[in-house]
Amino acid sequence: MITHNKSITLKFDYLIIGAGTAGCVLANRLSEKIQNNVAIFEAGKKSDIWKVNMPLAILYAMHDPKYNYKYYSEPEPYLNNRRLFCPRGKMIGGCSAHNGMVYVRGNKNDYDRWASFGLKDWSYEKVLPFFKKIETWSGGENKYRGGDGILPINQSKNKNPLFKAFLNSAKEAGYKINSDMNGENQEGFGMYDVTIHEGERASASKYYLNSVKNRKNLNIFTESFVEKIIFDGRKAIGIEVKIKNKVKKIYANKEVILSGGSINSPQLLMVSGVGPGAHLKDKGIETIHNMDGVGKNLQDHLETYIQQECKTPDTLYTYVNKFNMIKAGIQWFINKSGPCSTSFLEAGGFCKSSSDKEYPNIQFHFFPAFVIDHGKVDPDRHGYQLHASLNQPKSRGHITLNSSNPYDYPKIQFNYLENEYDLNETVKCIHVARKILSQSSMKPYAGKEIGPGENANDKKQIESYIRSKAETAYHPSCTLKMGTDNSAVVDEKLKIHGLENIRVADASVMPEITSGNLNAPTLMIAERAADFILNS
């Protein structure tokens, strides 16, 4: 446990549950006002370690149970009953401390669609100032980008020749090159913005929390597991939290704020008595507030990889060799340079699967290596892969409880490809990916296709490949959705419908998933939440 007040009170103005991406932002912004006494609680450890700070070491933190919940889904019925790996950060910084560091805001139409659901405060026009507030962008401030924010956002300058060949091939295939996919228009291919700065990961913990950790009115608790939210009737008044193996009751003068993410936030609400009444009763939990929407509406991006052998030694297979790996590691430890100073996930783009789409519905990430079982198995040859995912899937899943015990992992059911539309569009994703990879600029590198394989050409074969190989893009969201309908959990100010003094601020409040990676939208949601709170 870390605290910056010598005498720990049992009462604070704001209790923030979860020091992940959103929690770090909230702790920073709410404690800017010296009269606010803020406490933030994180179940995991501090994250200022090499396996977090080194960009290429992303898989080390992802697979370390000390720093990751390492969830798995229930058997997915439309993916051959496979249980899919669902990593979630268990440390200060949360998923911003182990993600791929790709910074994508989403499409402006995503937010205008949110606004059309009766959420006028979430139109693109309303959220753009908060995106700008986040960032100091390497390209400089303009109408769409921020120049003096807390977080350094840099457009990748990775010089791997495969990236140049891939982007040239996308252009040859008829897609435009876009120098800023977070700017005026998202469509096109290019080098992504990344949360990497001076050779190190730029996590929310490093830039939002560590920079203000000595504020007298900010109390940071690590290895502090919140077991329950305490209610007085329908008013949230505090939490029960285990700190150093002792359960303490800590109270909120103003608000309890959930920022545990799309899996942990609904779980905590349900074990605290807020959720579908019949489900809570079945688990022996007294219902404080019957809300059918808690844990419903789960969405994620499902990725399918097109894998191809590489005829040149320009891939990360070079670093499977222990000598080369150690050499690259030493280079990074000495001066934060070399291959370990980048994630190699920086090239990609957005396009339409067909001309009738209103805006891009496919995202691509190009990666100069094979990824086998989430990186747990080293590749056995030089290769590259193109990750293709559908931006706006129609399938919906849910989070439910295994038991009333807050330490029991919840049940996660994504129901990927439940809706036939998602399968059909994912097949189109494969065709677009193959079209790009078959262009002349890739010819000097292109060996045989490993997946789906050169003989997999008809729709049934490709569908079979998708069902057997597709994996999560690590973007679970929408399980405490914002809205005005009967299934909505929070209103547009992120207050839980029907309860007092409690809000949610994380990716779970999205009514629909955004088009792209979720770190940037989650930062924005937290900035927006802090603004609501400070101006309420």
Provide the sign of the torsion angle of the four alpha carbons 195, 364, 469, 21, taken in this order.
Answer: positive
Question: Which candidate, 174, 197, 180, 241, places its Cα nearest to that of 406?
Answer: 241
Q: Which of 289, 387, 398, 475 is catalytic?
A: 475
Q: Which of the 8 DSSP states describes residue 206? A: I
| Residue 76, SS3 per DSSP | strand
The H-assigned helical ranges of 41-155 are: 50-53, 58-62, 108-116, 124-134
DSSP secondary structure letters along 87-108: --B-BTTGGGGTS--EE----H
- Residue holding tokens 């008044």? 237
Quote the crossing angle between the two packed helices 21-30 and 519-534, to the nearest 10°. Answer: 30
The encoded tokens of residue 189 equal 């291919």
Using a 10 angstrom Cβ sphere, with 0-12 exposed, 13-18 middle and 19 or more buried, the burial of residue 334 is exposed
- Residue holding tokens 């009738």? 356
Residues 399 and 78: their CA atoms lie apart, in Å, by: 17
The encoded tokens of residue 90 equal 């268990």
The encoded tokens of residue 15 equal 């209790």
Whether 475 is catalytic is yes
Q: Which residues are catalytic?
A: 475
